[in-house]
Amino acid sequence: MTKEVPAPSEVSLRETSAETCPKAGRFQNAPPDFFRVQKELVCIICPNSCRLTVTHTQDGTQVTGASCKRGIQHGIDEVTNPMRMITSTVAVTGGILPRLPVIGSGEVPKAKLAECLAKIYRTKAAAPVMYGEVIISNICGTGVDIIASRPIAAGGRT
């Protein structure tokens, strides 16, 4: 007899029960700070470079050490949903240079960074390429475009 278990994306942490996960009940009597994550960061938002201590628990996120509101938001974002900019290069066919430098139009989730870079490494651009030309649109469903950061003229390489 098999039991149908919903896919992980369909089950939230709050909905997890002994029926969907046999080990779910073992954390019910855990102390309140059991799910506590503490991380120390250096804020990169402004030139102050504040040393932040971010504490994330079930009850919320607390940031200490920030001297501005933007630093507080940076600390919260870095623990709950870290994002990164992508800069890389793409192979060029038919251009005067073998590689084209590219940059993302925005930040991508850190969890998707490796997937995005793998797609960039598999991509080949055909020369000529203009500055600002979109090389990959909506990379890995993130809403971020990968854009040429310099022009490359057509020429001797294949």
Q: Are 104 and 132 part of one and the same domain?
A: yes
The type of residue at 141 is G
Using only the alpha carbons of the chain, give its radius of gyration. Answer: 22
Q: Does residue 141 share a domain with residue 98?
A: yes
Same domain? 77 vs 91? no
Which segment of 7-21, 45-59, 133-147 scores lowest on mean pLDDT?
Answer: 7-21
Residue 42 located in a structural domain? yes
> Which structural domain range is residue 142 located in?
87-148
Nearest-10 Cα torsion for 54, 15, 8, 22: 100
Task: Scan for tokens 């600002």, then name that residue.
Answer: 132
- Number of domains composing the chain: 2
**Mind listing the pLDDT tens digit for each residue in 14-36?**
444 445 455 555 555 555 555 67
Residues 147, 131, 118: CA angle, nearest 5 degrees: 30
144 and 92 in a common domain: yes
Residues comprising the chain, all counted: 158
Q: What is the CATH number of the domain that holds 141?
A: 3.10.530.10
pLDDT band at 58 (very low <50, low <70, confident <90, very high): confident
124-141 pLDDT tens trace? 999 999 999 999 999 999
| Total H helices, total E strands in the chain | 2, 10
Cis ω for the linkage preceding 101 (within 30 of 0): no
Beta-carbon-side half-sphere exposure of residue 155 (alpha carbons within 13 Å): 10
Residue 69 CB contacts under 8 Å (≥ 6 apart), including other chains: none
Where are the alpha helices (H) located in the chain, listed in sequence order?
69-80, 113-122
- For the chain, the average pLDDT equals 82
Question: Of 25, 51, 81, which residue is a domain's last?
Answer: 81
Sign of CA dihedral 115, 120, 124, 125: positive
Residue with tokens 């019910």: 28
pLDDT, one tens digit per residue, over 74-121 is 998 988 889 999 999 999 999 999 999 999 999 999 999 999 999 999
